[in-house]
Amino acid sequence: MQANLVLEAAERDELTHFRYCDERLDFTAGYVAETIRDNYPDLDVPYHARWRHFVVDGVDRWAACAAATGDDPLERARIRIDLAVVSVLLDAGAGADWSYHDRDTGATLTRSEGLAVASLNAFLDGLFSSDPSQPQRADGPALEALGQIALADAFQVRDDNQLAGLSGRTGLLNRLGDAVDKHPMYFSRAEPRVGNLADFFLSASRDATLPAATVLTTLLDALGSIWPGRLELAGYNLGDTWRHPAARRDDAASGLVPFHKLSQWLAYSLIEPLEELGLTITGPDDLTGLAEYRNGGLMIDTGLLEPKHDGVLGTRHEPGSETIVEWRALTVALLDRLAAKVREIFGKTAGDMPLAGVLEGGTWDAGRRIARQKRADGGPPLNIVSDGSIF
């Protein structure tokens, strides 16, 4: 794995921006384990998936409307995948200044929960459907035609309530619509719709079994064209892949570090709808941890990663800057080490507590907790420019 090459360079103290402090690994693992015990005392931890963010103040917003999806298991899976894909793609960091007023409870929500509930309400209202008789869907024509003003209205964006990366989010959904129309193998030619991925995964399964790696590679192929054009290899858009000098190897991928944060987050989020459909998803740990600011912030805030110069915390960074790529690569590699330590604390195996459970229980919430302790706004320790398509 390319991220491990960066971590190996850190262990040799060869990196420019971060120092790896191995002596802090036990402390960080203990902090994550404590967070898991607080959140899930029975240690029965679900996957780190978008569905968790629909649960706010003890109310599961998805469960409350799931009954309206009907009795057909396949159509129900299509609807859940429609929702999961658009909601995950809208989940990039909202920024510290945005909030969402929930019409059902009157609560003011921010960050991931606010984005989740806003996207759920927009989905229920038919924003992503071109068929008024079937509002709960996301189809190619509606996504291609979606305008920034309509998305801003759905997310309650105003001059005094700005959402980071709004134009990037709109463009991402527009390109999703284009991909749905252009890839009938995944999305159907007769009725191009995001949720038709359920039909594709059924056909790709063997004896009702589907590897998690197949879910991810399908998403990378089906959605490859939606990401802003950055790096290409053999004419293929690499999406959330960036360069770092420590990731050296003897092939065309030398120097490249793939993260695919939103694609992997989406793959984790599709496991439950596919399991509900009757498929067994194998090898969830073939996916990596998520290189985003909660997991990465945890590494810095617990002292596991130490900035080497003032520019790390004192500069606003572009996603492709060497500092950010280095931080994200170290985050991915260290999540594996943390997961092993956390399982050791609990006496669990990877089968008992897969990486997706450690993330959910877990590193993501531990990163949020310690950020709130260290900074008034609870934001990440680094200042990152968001275009709505990375984190």
**Side-chain-facing half-sphere of 280: CA atoms under 13 Å:** 6
The confidence band for 119, taking pLDDT boundaries of 50, 70 and 90, is very high
Q: Is the pLDDT of residue 104 over 90?
A: no
Six token digits for residue 105: 């409870």
Residue 316 has pLDDT above 70, yes or no: yes
**What is the structure's pLDDT at 391?**
63
Share the mean pLDDT of the chain. 93
* The two three-digit tokens of residue 85, written as one number: 């894909």
Where is pLDDT greater, at 338 or 70? 338
Per-residue pLDDT, 384: 87
Residue 157: count of CB within 10 angstroms of its CB: 18
Residue 387 pLDDT: 66
What pLDDT is recorded for position 58? 84
Parse the chain into domains and list their residue ranges. 1-48+238-268+286-391, 50-204
Q: For 171-200, how does the pLDDT look when each residue is reduced to its tens digit (9 = 90+)? A: 999 999 999 999 999 999 999 999 999 999
Q: What's residue 230's pLDDT?
A: 76
CA-nearest of 252, 367, 248, 246 to 300 is 367
Q: Give the CA-trace dihedral at 163, 35, 343, 275, to 10 degrees.
A: -50
Predicted confidence band at 345 (pLDDT cuts at 50, 70, 90)?
very high
- Least confident among 84-98, 286-300, 363-377: 84-98
8 A C-beta contact, residue 116 and residue 50: yes
* Percent of the chain whose predicted confidence (pLDDT) is above 70: 98
Write phi, then psi, for 101 (nearest 5 degrees).
-90, 115
Alpha helices in the chain (DSSP H): 2-11, 25-39, 61-66, 73-89, 111-124, 140-145, 148-154, 166-182, 184-187, 197-204, 212-222, 261-276, 293-301, 311-314, 322-346, 355-358, 364-374
Say whether 280 sits in a helix, a strand or coil: strand
